[in-house]
Amino acid sequence: MASSSDVTQDAQDAQRAFRSALSMFATGVAVITAPRATGAPIGITVASFNSVSLDPPLILFSVDRRCLSLEDLQQTSTYAVNVLSHHQQHVSNRFSKPNSSKWDGIEFSTGGCDANVLLPEALAIFECEPYAQHDGGDHVIFVGRVVRHVVRSDSEPLIFFGGKYRTLTADDAVCA
Ligand SMILES: Cc1cc2nc3c(=O)[nH]c(=O)nc-3n(C[C@H](O)[C@H](O)[C@H](O)COP(=O)(O)O)c2cc1C
């Protein structure tokens, strides 16, 4: 007969296998930023960013219900998606840990619309107003309406694949 610890172990193994399969989908890396009424701004590293709609212009990302910033993000009236370039791995690492000093030494501006918090070195920035939030199991799915976007085309993206950071090689960059 299976013991409860076997069942727990099986569930953990199944979850690990699922995560591992999902990690075969290469993504970029972005930091979701938003102002807070008091205290340091919100900053969360995500790989779940994706496009949704051109008309209206919508994007999405999902946030783990355990994230400390979730409640503030659910209440904010504006947020930005900062797509990281290949030299911003340290920025991704910084915003991927719950830490009170996340912003120490990180350059940011608050010059966007609605006083958005922006990472000026990002490859692209999408400033959004909240459009919808959906239940996503142990995550909350945020859909944002893009009100402004900028692109810096002179850099390469930071890639996340197989649980590791990657960069495009010269060959990868030339896909016909
Ligand atoms: C490359 C990478 C991608 C990540 N993607 C997500 C994601 O899409 N959603 C999420 O909730 N957490 C993601 N995380 C983990 C969060 O960044 C992490 O939980 C962070 O500490 C949340 O900040 P907070 O707890 O201060 O709110 C990712 C981490 C890394 C390193």
144 contacts 79 by C-beta, under 8 angstroms: yes
CB–CB of 29/81 below 8 Å?
no
- The ligand 1 atom nearest the CA atom of 93: 31
Chain mean pLDDT for the chain: 92
Tell me which residue of 108, 91, 88 sits closest to 40, measured CA to CA.
108
Q: Which CATH number fits domain 26-162: 2.30.110.10, 3.40.190.10, 2.60.40.3080, 3.30.565.10?
A: 2.30.110.10
The CB of 125 under 6 Å from ligand 1? The reply is no
d(CA 154, CA 173): 13
Domain ranges of the chain: 26-162
Structure tokens that stand for 77 in this block:
């009236």
pLDDT tens digit string along 87-142? 999 999 999 998 778 999 999 998 666 788 999 999 999 999 999 999 999 999 99
In the reported structure, the alpha carbon of residue 122 is separated from the centroid of ligand 1 by a whole-number distance in angstroms of 17
Can you give the pLDDT at residue 138? 97
Label residue 163 left, alpha or beta by phi (over 0 means left) and psi (-120 to 50 means alpha): left
Pocket test for ligand 1, best of 22, 45, 48, 81 (most atoms within 8 A of CB): 45
Q: What is the pLDDT of residues 131-169, one digit of tens each?
A: 999 999 999 999 999 999 999 878 899 999 999 999 997
Q: Is the CB of 60 under 6 A from ligand 1?
A: no
